[in-house]
Amino acid sequence: MTAITDTAHAFFEACEAGKGWSVCQVYCTPDATFAAQAEPLADVTTLQQYADWMQGLMQVLTDATYQVKSFATDAARNNVCAYGVFTGTHLAGGPCPPTGKTVSTDYVYVMQFNDAGRIAHMTKIWHSGLALQALDWA
């Protein structure tokens, strides 16, 4: 594996486990940006905000897990793409009382690295509308 692949893998595992920015920041630039065309993340513009959002989500979908489907490095473009399936049940807190509904949702992270081998930007590709419907949040 390349250095950016190792870094991307470590970041992905920490972020998906809900470790928050306090753990994820070692893999990123301090001002790493974030983008997603997904309504729940419309106001999230930094990777710090996203890592902390995932940490909060894990407190709502308390049984959440993920399965990696693909992990690919594009060395020429200095990025890594991770495709996974996130599964969780709304058992606590959140935007409404617990629904007990389970979601299984596909998503992709595209992590762009700087020349020092740290994540400078990440885009999340995710159909949030279907995920929110599955949880009975929309």
Using one digit for the tens of pLDDT, what is the confidence trace for 48-84? Answer: 999 999 999 999 999 999 999 999 999 999 999 999 9
Q: Given this model, what pLDDT does residue 138 score?
A: 85
Select from 88, 98, 100 the least CA-distant residue to 64.
88
If you search the block for the tokens 């009382």, which residue do you land on? 97
* 81-127: pLDDT as tens digits: 999 999 999 999 888 999 999 999 999 999 999 999 999 999 999 99
The pTM assigned to this predicted structure is: 0.95
> What domains does the chain contain, in order, with CATH numbers?
3-134 (3.10.450.50)
